[in-house]
């Protein structure tokens, strides 16, 4: 996948960083930090959270290693809603309007709309670029939105959290991944269930759990996910 851009949402950044598999994931995907793009709001949003935490014992996301995520992403390229030369503003507006008028629980928030519009724009130019996300509701909303033009350029270009973990297990081994993820499994409810609530789940149970979660999401989102595992 060399030469592609990988656009990461806030959720996937926090979870990969907390699990200490961010660099592993880039290596597994055959890419590097120069090919990563994130929302320009990430730094400011979570720096403020760190500042609030220093002034108070409370924090809204105690399961996340926000400091590590900020350190990892400090030099990454960013994309914003004002960057009209690099995203399709018409698509961006449509995605936001769809979520505002959608009555179910599956929505596309502002940040996801920026990233989807950017990946759509890039892929329209004849390139192959990817969205990495941990937001299941966003993917369900996009799949059900009826925006066939957008979906055409996003299909097969989305990596979800469980896919990335399974791919890392395949590349670097289960024992190493379990040692990294199990102690911080509370950062994601599905991962906590798959890797074991009170004791470490064995390899075959973890792999089956990851595969089943990926299959379930594929059934709800059409062809959006990257075709892994086959």
- 159-198 pLDDT, tens digit per residue, is 999 999 999 999 999 999 999 999 999 999 999 999 999 9
pTM: 0.93
| Phi, psi values for residue 113, rounded to 5° | -65, -40
Give the model confidence (pLDDT) of 200-211 as tens digits. 999 999 999 999
Give the pLDDT confidence of 6-27 residue by residue, as tens digits.
999 999 999 999 999 999 999 9
Residue-wise pLDDT for 29-70, tens only, equals: 999 999 999 999 998 888 877 666 554 444 445 689 999 999
- Residue 210 main-chain phi, psi, to 5 deg: -65, -45
Phi, psi angles (nearest 5°) of residue 34 = -70, -15
In the prediction, which pLDDT does 145 show?
93
Q: What pLDDT is attached to residue 60?
A: 47
């Amino acid at each position: 996948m060399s030469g592609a851009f990988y656009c990461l949402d806030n959720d996937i950044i926090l979870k990969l960083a907390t699990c200490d598999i961010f660099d592993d994931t880039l290596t597994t995907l055959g890419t590097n930090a120069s090919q990563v793009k994130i929302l320009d709001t990430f730094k400011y949003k979570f720096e403020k959270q760190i500042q609030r935490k220093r002034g108070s014992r409370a924090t809204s996301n105690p399961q996340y290693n926000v400091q590590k995520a900020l350190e990892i992403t400090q030099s990454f390229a960013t994309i914003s809603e004002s960057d009209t030369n690099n995203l399709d503003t018409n698509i961006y507006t449509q995605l936001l309007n769809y979520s505002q008028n959608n009555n179910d629980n599956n929505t596309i928030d502002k940040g996801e709309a920026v990233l989807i519009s950017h990946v759509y724009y890039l892929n329209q130019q004849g390139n192959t670029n990817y969205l990495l996300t941990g937001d299941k509701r966003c993917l369900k909303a996009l799949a059900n939105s009826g925006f066939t033009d957008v979906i055409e350029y996003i299909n097969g270009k989305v990596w979800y959290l469980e896919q990335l973990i399974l791919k890392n297990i395949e590349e670097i081994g289960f024992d190493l991944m379990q040692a990294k993820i199990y102690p911080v499994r509370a950062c994601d409810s599905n991962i906590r269930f798959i890797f074991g609530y009170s004791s470490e789940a064995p390899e075959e149970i973890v792999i089956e759990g990851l595969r089943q979660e990926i299959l379930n999401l594929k059934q709800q989102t059409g062809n959006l996910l990257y075709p892994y595992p086959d």
